[in-house]
Amino acid sequence: MKSYLIIFTLALVLFGFFFVEHHLDTPGRTAADRETLMSDGSGIAARIAAVGQIKTAQAQSSTTTQVASTTEAAVDGQKVYQSACIACHGAGVAGAPMVGNAATWTDRIAAGNDSLYANAINGLVGSSGVMPAKGGNPTLSDAEVKAAVDHMVSQSQ
Ligand code: HEC
């Protein structure tokens, strides 16, 4: 009877040892996971995207709407303009059409939004100067550049 008790106690101690040993390393593993998440360059939309496919059509469409509205709210055309475009377009530096000066924008606006977006995103060597792609900020997303163009156009009509 006594030997059973000893074996049982030993087993318990052994289990306790492995249990603690296994979890000692948990904070390290969490940090490693976080590192992977932060360093892979994925965008916010990719990080908050649903992991699995949601089957019901209703649930899926509400998820899509949420993601879309989050993305939209994150893009503030005026902010992008002030940080990446105002250097040239604020005062008409280097032949840049000046925001607020309708005369320099009439023909450009007449060409249509798609043309303005494309030239702002890809850059343009025009008759008045050189517009660098994305204003020289390759980290800007297309959506951010478009929002900045919308802001500039709205201030220049
Ligand atoms: C280094 C100066 C510079 C910066 C920074 C700059 N631009 Fe320009 N941009 C220009 C010049 C110069 C032109 C005129 C090119 C031409 O038509 O000769 C221009 C033209 C444009 C046009 C008119 C394109 C067309 O189709 O006529 C848009 C739209 C535009 N820029 C948007 C932007 C946006 C948005 C940003 C910021 C993300 C930005 N620019 C930053 C210099 C700049």
pLDDT for the residue numbered 149? 97
Cα(107)–Cα(118) distance, rounded to whole angstroms? 16
Give the distance (Å) from ligand 1 centre to CA of residue 154. Answer: 15
Give the distance (Å) from ligand 1 centre to CA of residue 8. Answer: 78
Cα(109)–Cα(89) distance, rounded to whole angstroms? 15
pLDDT for the residue numbered 50? 72
pLDDT tens sequence across 68-100: 544 455 699 999 999 999 999 999 999 999 999
Q: The whole model's pTM is what?
A: 0.64
95 lines ligand 1 (CB under 6 A): yes
Cα(74)–Cα(66) distance, rounded to whole angstroms? 12
Cα(64)–Cα(53) distance, rounded to whole angstroms? 11
First to last CA, the chain: 96
Q: Domain map of the chain by residue range?
A: 2-74, 77-154
pLDDT tens sequence across 15-64: 888 888 877 777 776 666 666 666 655 666 777 777 776 666 554 455 55
What sign has the CA pseudo-torsion 114, 118, 121, 123? Answer: negative
Residue 82 or 3, more confident: 82
pLDDT for the residue numbered 22? 78
Among residues 128, 140, 138, the alpha carbon closest in space to that of 89 is found at 128
How many residues are there in the chain? Answer: 157
CATH topology of domain 77-154: Cytochrome Bc1 Complex; Chain D, domain 2 (1.10.760)
Cα(137)–Cα(38) distance, rounded to whole angstroms? 22
pLDDT tens sequence across 119-137: 999 999 999 999 999 999 9
Here the tokens at position 128 are 């008045």
pLDDT for the residue numbered 2? 80
121 lines ligand 1 (CB under 6 A): no
pLDDT tens sequence across 137-156: 999 999 999 999 999 999 99
